[in-house]
Structure 1
Amino acid sequence: MSKVAEPLENKNVYRVEGFTCANCAGKFENNVKQLPGVRDAKVNFGASKIAVYGDATIQELEKAGAFENLKVTPVKPMREAKQEVHKGTKEPFYKKHSTLLNAVLIIVFGYLSQYVNGEENLITSLLFAASIVIGGFSLFKVGFQNLMRFEFDMKTLMTVAIIGAAIIGEWAEGAIIVILFAISEALERFSMDRARQSIRSLMDIAPKEALVRRNGQEMVVNVDDITVGDIMIVKPGQKIAMDGVVVSGNSAVNQAAITGESVPVGKTIDDDVFAGTLNEEGLLEVKVTKLVDDTTIAKIIHLVEEAQGERAPSQAFVDKFAKYYTPIIMVVAALVAVIPPLFFDGSWATWVYQGLSVLVVGCPCALVISTPISIVSAIGNAAKNGVLVKGGIYLEEMGALKAIAFDKTGTLTKGVPVVTDFNVFSKKTNETELLSIITALEYRSQHPLASAIMRKAEEANISYSDVMVADFSSITGKGIKGTVNGTSYYIGNPKLFKELATAHFSNEQEQLVTTLQNKGKTAMVVGTDKEILAVIAVADEVRESSKEIIQKLHQLGIKKTIMLTGDNKGTANAIAGHVGVSDVQAELMPQDKLDFIKQLRADYGNVAMVGDGVNDAPALAASTVGIAMGGAGTDTALETADVALMGDDLRKLPFAIKLSRKALNIIKQNITFALAIKLIALLLVIPGWLTLWIAILSDMGATLLVALNGLRLMRVKE
């Protein structure tokens, strides 16, 4: 236990500015791990953050990131972080890219000088050399340090290639390499910023101030100063600033920002509301239940950032591959430069040039960015549409699902029982009076279905609180009984009345009970010790969308959909037949559900379990992907599930699978394309056609195309 807890002690999270590439993020992480007092560190490239376990000052962290002039700041509360984000985006374009623009300008003068004075002119060479030094200073600084330490990454390759180009007199091409590499890095940064914009847009959702009533006075208060228990006044057309519960008013609230629901949801007294949602119609008074950094939207932002930092299996493969790939490229480049002149009478100038081109084309920029940009884009898009994916690994695994198991109650059904049938047998019996007596008895019971009967009475405006009940008792496993106005009433299952010798249970009545049960309803018989008076049926209503969703999943190629429930076989089969799942297992204990999930994994490999995030925890944990319903406002679902559907609705499930599959395809496309373009360019070495121009353009083109391909995931819609 202590071993598990130890690394979590003294955890500090910092925002990092200045990452140019995923490789640099990895190097920074390793540098921080080497600091005295630091037990572990984990960089989240997707969110531009680092989590440090142990003690380290900001000065020490910035020194560890000095190779790229990284700026480190402690993570602030959500409001301050939001302001920081916007501060950072206002930097003028010229100031942000002044070094690159100056280097480009000097190259232009270099080519003008070459046109006027000729290629061998000293001024021409000096202009190109100046462009190399100005545009590549930060690159060389890191590259030389890497060479001294025998660390081989993209900047090491580029440094060697540019120095080599200068040595053999290719000043112009050396300068172009520097500029194109800088442009490539800028494009990579821009692409990642676009992907990260999904988090920034979430930060913009909730307002910074709210109208609050304190001590009888209304005042506008900053959300950081609002405390639990404050009463917020939310006018029509205003966004709700904090999570809370409605204490006065009725309205329709647009919850699309949190749950992805397109239709506004009716809210009245005792209903939960979330920060960042839009009050559309009436005036609401809301009692604040969470501080600003504990709101649902704050948790979503935190979890999305954490998820974007989780390495997917394909990213782990790329990271491992790149670790060995770069040194191999350097060896190949050296062999290309040396072997033809030594053994085949080749020209040293020609083959050294070819070797330098191999170094440039071998730069793994496109490969390294291929996965993280896809993961960040997909997870950000999912969050905006009400699906919270907890990491790249789950994103990939959802795309490979073959079977999905569903809990019944609260997942395929609404989880709220309702009275569906009330059949009174005796014409002499007053239906309203009998329902009043039934409700008065059920009010005193602990039965889960009692709430449905009470709700039925309230909807019909039938009073039951004034009904005097004497000698109330519960008959274990069978029902309840109580005396009203001197008459003993019984409510329970058919077995109860079969044991009462004085009450006759006719075939017609028994047939009605069987029919109701076959329809998936729970039938309760009502009567006295002398006669059967009525049958009341209660059912958990099936969600309107369940049938359509199961059909869509089958169309998407999900081979098996199975409903797992602890309910009786009659009810389970009725609901399963209605929604169209391919299999059903009823009367299951939690251990049975766990066993079925294990069997499904053995049969199909990738299996999801969809539940409410509270019950069936073992089955959710045993599945490849645990999917929780109704994540919004449900802390357990947000914390325990691999994927949370923020709206209490299954309609997001096909979208999540579609997005995951698209992400999986794009990641595979990116990796394949990045490697293929390198291979094609390297094959040009054989006839001696590879030039530094082709090398850098192939690398830059691959990086740009891979980034744009990954960004397509932000456009995937339901």
Structure 2
Amino acid sequence: MKTNNAQPVYQFKKRRQRLRAQFSPATKKTINRILIAFILLLIGVSATLPLPVTVTTYLVAYVVIGGRILYKAIRNVGCGQFFDENFLMSIATLGALILGEYPEAIAVMLFYELGEVFEDVAVNRSKRSISALMAVKPTSATLITNGQTKVVAPAKVQINQTILVKPGEKIPLDGTVVLGQSAVDTSALTGESIPQNLKVGDAALSGAINQTGTLRIKVTKAYRDSTVAKILDLVQNATSKKTATEKFITRFAKVYTPIVVGLALALAVLPPLVIGAAWSTWIYRALIFLVISCPCALVISVPLSFFGGIGAASKQGILVKGSNYLEALNAVDTVAFDKTGTLTKGQFAVTDVLPQANVTQDQLLQLAASVEQNSTHPIAASILAAYPGELLPVQDATEQAGHGLRATVNGQTVIVGNAKALNAANVTFIKPDAPGTVIYVAVANHYWGCVVIADEPKNDANRAIQLLNQRGIQQTVMLTGDNHTVGTTIAKQLQMTNVYTDLLPADKVKIVEQLTTPAHHRHKKVAFVGDGINDTPVLATADVGFAMGGLGSDAAVEAADIVIMGDEPSKVAQAMQIAKRTRQIVIQNITFALVVKIIFLLLGALGMVNMWQAVFADVGVTILAVLNAIRLQFINFDR
């Protein structure tokens, strides 16, 4: 029977393509240089050739593998940068060549370049987790004009124009669905794997992938202001802001490198001058000392660890605007939340209908819905949703700002509003003992009853507070403009530490300022999570500001330090978990690199390691630190 080998061959080709994708063009060139130099080194070591040919073979191998490093060292010296890893490698290997240690000089450069390859692969892997977000960038939009379709660049589409999005295509611009319905994949934006069902009237986010039906979308934002454009801008600038640890490592390397060069010089000169030891022995030890002293592991692995943390966060739909904010999360012990739209759904619903004795619930709801039928207020929408039946004819409907509505129904004056409206009309009413916004109804100055409307906590809100408590957060605080009853009810449901109610935006800022003062929390930091435009000042005031970007306002996203693209407050705790794991890996790398360096520097100075062992000490530590840094890409933060 004939077997089909096409599938294994295809899989092999796919694996080979994925492997090649790990390497940048520059890395592929480096690998070629390593192979050529290694072959020449083997020829020089194993072949029986005349001495001039052997030396020439070694020198060619050295130039092939070390020429780039020598060039960088000379160029940097010309720019005043004397003490970097290229300088150290060049001095050490040139000294080895002068002493006739050709194989060791080549080996130093070989292993150093091999470490560079590992670093490049690690960085590319970290970048791919972020470039998954970059892949959401749409390249074209199908514009509908006068019944005709035309493919154009997304940037050329204007607000209020209509675009067509077919199954399998990316939604190129933010807009509102005007025709059709479909399931869309928003995982690249929000980290949510479950498709979102869009229908007429729903908001469509750019960067989402249309899956099942054809959609017509009326554009509401220009491309430069769209969700996908903001994501790309955040991703591209995410690594521009360094952490205190990264800045320390950079300063450390600038001080550390000249010190070890001075020590190496002393090691080469002082013993021969003081005790009459052989110059070649101590120069060789000094060269070993230089090779070991390279701070590559620290300089490479620390920023790579933070880069990996940003990449891991992006996989979860959390965009961190800089590694400094990721590090700051480790010092947060207080998290303050806005209520509406952040911890609650932001969608009002009728929770109770309380008529007077001579009025039925149906009558009360019908009257309230009839008066509210032409209002665009969210409260009106919730009352209308609660009463789907036939509405009464209404005349002379007028709205009184801050009070409610007044209208004529069946020849009688009807007031639908808050307590202020009934007090102004001298209507006696009963205040219910129920959490929520109360809408009172009065007919011909007689109290008919009230409708209670409330905003419900998000399904994820309780879990968010529990996770933060498990992470060691000392205080979870709610800041809301709602009344005391509503605020405390939600806070108790979520088991929060504290709640501040009846707040204006300026009041929220004052409270966050109080929480961030040294007298309150010394070295600790305060995070604030919000989604509305009124949260912008508070986001800017807090040590770390989180914006619920999926449903949040543009202003909140701009002001925040971290953007949660989905609608889950539990992502705040997840971001803190990623920040904590990132810091652990950074500390591991710093500790490991310094301990190994110090041990081998002492052994090198005492002549207890040779050049080969020095190379393994330097490059080996770097590779292990890099591998440790990319572990972040394999950790499951969903648990």
Global fold match (TM > 0.5): yes
Distance 1:522 1:288, change over 3 A: closer
Query: Structure 1 vs Structure 2: percent identity of aligned residues?
Result: 37
| 2:308 is aligned with 1:377 | yes
After TM superposition, the structure 1 stretch with the greater mean CA deviation from structure 2, 139-148 or 262-271, is 139-148
- The answer for the alignment partner of 1:14 in structure 2 is none
Give 1:205-604 correspondences, 5 Å limit. Answer: 205-206=136-137, 208-218=139-149, 223=154, 228-290=159-221, 294-427=225-358, 429=359, 431-432=361-362, 434-443=364-373, 449-457=379-387, 460-463=388-391, 467-470=393-396, 472=398, 474=400, 478-494=403-419, 497=422, 505=429, 509-510=430-431, 513-514=432-433, 516=434, 520-601=435-516, 602=518, 603-604=520-521
After TM superposition, the structure 1 stretch with the greater mean CA deviation from structure 2, 159-168 or 148-157, is 148-157
Unaligned runs of 5+ in 1: 1-85
Look up the SS of the partner of 2:408 in the other structure: strand
Distance 1:342 1:204, change over 3 A: same
Distance 1:633 1:473, change over 3 A: closer
- Scaled by the length of structure 1, the TM-score of the pair is 0.79
Q: Tell me how far 1:352 sits from its aligned partner.
A: 0.9
CA distance in 2 between counterparts of 1:325 and 1:691 reads 22
Q: Deviations over 1:150-174 (max 9, x none)?
A: 6211111111101111111211111
Q: Tell me how far 1:395 sits from its aligned partner.
A: 0.7
Letter of the 2:171 counterpart = I
Q: Deviations over 1:258-285 (max 9, x none)?
A: 1112222221223222233232333322
CA distance in 1 between counterparts of 2:436 and 2:552 reads 30
Aligned residues of 1:472 and 1:483 also touching (Cα < 8 A): no
Letter of the 1:588 counterpart = L
Aligned residues of 2:264 and 2:286 also touching (Cα < 8 A): yes
Look up the SS of the partner of 2:94 in the other structure: helix
Q: Tell me how far 1:662 sits from its aligned partner.
A: 0.9
Distance 1:473 1:98, change over 3 A: closer
Aligned residues of 2:396 and 2:408 also touching (Cα < 8 A): yes
Match of 1:637 among 531, 556, 561: 556
Unaligned runs of 5+ in 2: 1-19
- The answer for the alignment partner of 1:78 in structure 2 is none
Distance 1:471 1:328, change over 3 A: closer
Q: Deviations over 1:91-149 (max 9, x none)?
A: 59865633332211111111113xx469xx44333322221122111211222344464
Match of 2:525 among 606, 626, 630: 606
Q: Tell me how far 1:497 sits from its aligned partner.
A: 4.7
Aligned residues of 1:407 and 1:563 also touching (Cα < 8 A): yes
- The answer for the alignment partner of 2:592 in structure 1 is 673
CA distance in 1 between counterparts of 2:123 and 2:566 reads 28
Aligned residues of 2:182 and 2:213 also touching (Cα < 8 A): yes
CA distance in 2 between counterparts of 1:580 and 1:696 reads 57
Q: Tell me how far 1:582 sits from its aligned partner.
A: 1.1
Letter of the 2:119 counterpart = E
CA distance in 2 between counterparts of 1:202 and 1:523 reads 44
Distance 1:613 1:671, change over 3 A: farther
Aligned residues of 2:532 and 2:552 also touching (Cα < 8 A): no
Q: Deviations over 1:232-278 (max 9, x none)?
A: 33344544344332110122222111111222222122322223323
Distance 1:284 1:89, change over 3 A: farther
Distance 1:231 1:495, change over 3 A: closer
Look up the SS of the partner of 1:402 in the other structure: strand
Distance 1:155 1:607, change over 3 A: same
Cα root mean square deviation, aligned: 2.8
CA distance in 1 between counterparts of 2:221 and 2:418 reads 44
CA distance in 2 between counterparts of 1:222 and 1:306 reads 24
Q: Tell me how far 1:480 sits from its aligned partner.
A: 4.1
Letter of the 1:269 counterpart = V
CA distance in 2 between counterparts of 1:651 and 1:396 reads 19
Letter of the 2:70 counterpart = F
Aligned residues of 1:396 and 1:660 also touching (Cα < 8 A): yes
